[in-house]
Structures are given as structure tokens and as C-alpha cells.
Amino acid sequence: MKAATIVALARSFLVIALFQLGCNSEATISNQLSKVNAVKQNPSDQDLMKQIEVFASSDATASAKAWEALERYDRQSLIRELTRLSAAAADDDYHKVLIAFTFCKLNHEYALNKNIVLSALAKNFPYKHFYGDWAVSLIHRLLIGGDKEVLDDLFAAAEWSDGAMSEELSSAYSDAIKDDTKEFLRRLAAENEGIQRNVYALLKDNSLTKDESERVTVFLRSVPPTSDLRRAADETIKALQSERKSHD
């Protein structure tokens, strides 16, 4: 074979090899990009987070439907997927709070996840696009679920609350005092005077009905004069009566 022919064939093989190498490289890059995008835009992840957001919303009807949808997941699979999503989220991503709240509902590592939810109630809350009224709403739901300990945190939050957050706190106090007046009073009496004053101020805008207010007042008046709870009971009565007068 002539030298010129050999050189020509060699050039042809080189061109083909380079072309295939380029195609393979482009395919590899394309596959890698597809995988990255799949992580960011995984439809199942998006659907799951949407259900979590709705479940943690203030729309009771929508929240109940979202919980029904979440209950259709295998429990362990749901916990595993939510744990993965929480770990992947930034430290200031409020979805961490919503996932923690869902874990509380699932009774999965309740104490740990409750603390995450409570962290959103802090005066300088660490999460972006997540404000005090939403935090109070979630903690209020923990309270309704039977966790009376969160009352201490809800009392403390009265110090820096305003606007929508104060309204949510007032609603939470109303439910707490009508559902378990004795426990509400016991915990309130243990707080310092500054916190107590803030709570009394918000109780003036409570959401109790006339009958509920009268029933609570009857209990408060029954507290013995010698009890450590007497002073808090008297101040609470004044707050409730102030609200009633404002509607007369």
C-alpha cells in the first residue's frame, strides 16, 4: 500500500475517533445535567412538599385533605423521604420547620422535631419567608394536640408579637384557657410579671364565646384566696371582663 494511502486512512480513522469521542463526551455531560435537574425538579419531591405545605397551612379543610394524602404513604418511606428533603434543604429554609411539624404529627422523634418548630417562634427567627403568625399557628396545633408544655413558649412570645402574630397568640390562649383552665393558670402564674402583663393584654382580645368566658370565670373565682394562683386568677378575670365590656 502506498504511503499516501496509508496516511489518508490514518487521518480518516483519527477524524472518526475524535467525532465519536466528542459525541460520547456530549452524551456524558447531557446525562449528568439530566441527573442534576432530576434532583432539583423531581416531580415526586415537588408533590410531597406541596402536600406538606398544605398540611401546615391555616386552611383547616385543605390541611385535613393533605393529611389524608400523606397517610396513604408507607410510614417508613414517608419518614425516609422527608428526612432526605430536610437534610438537603438550606439551614434557613422554612421547609425544615414544616417537615418537623409533620414529623410531630407522625410522632416521629417528637421532642427533637418540636424544638425545630419552636425555634421558628424566636424573636429573631432563623428562617426566610416564615413569620411569627405561621409559627404560632403550628405551635397552637401542637397545643390542641395535647402538648401543654408549648404554652410556656407561647406565653414568652407575647413579648415581641404584633399584628397577625398577636392575633394568633390570642386565639391560642383562648383555646388553652377554655380547654384546661387550671393548667393555663398554673403555667401563667409561674411566669415573670412582664410575661404575665403581655399575656393579659392579649387575653383582652380573646375569642371566647360569652358562655365559655363565664365558665372560665367561674373557675377562676373558685381559686382559694390563699392559693399561689389567686393573683393570676384575678388578673385573668380582669382581662376577660375587659374584652366583654368592649363588646357590650
Would you state the pLDDT for residue 11?
54
pLDDT, mean of residues 1-8: 48
Residue whose grid cell is 371582663: 241
Residues 33-79 pLDDT 10s? 334 333 343 668 999 999 999 999 999 999 999 999 999 999 999 99
- Higher-confidence residue: 113 or 241? 113
- Provide the percentage of residues in the chain whose pLDDT is more than 90: 76
Would you state the pLDDT for residue 19?
44
pLDDT, mean of residues 80-106: 97
Q: pTM of whole model > 0.85?
A: no
Helix extents (H) in 41-131: 43-55, 60-71, 75-88, 95-105, 110-119
The radius of gyration computed from the CA coordinates of the chain, to the nearest angstrom, equals 29
Would you state the pLDDT for residue 39?
37
Residue whose grid cell is 407561647: 154
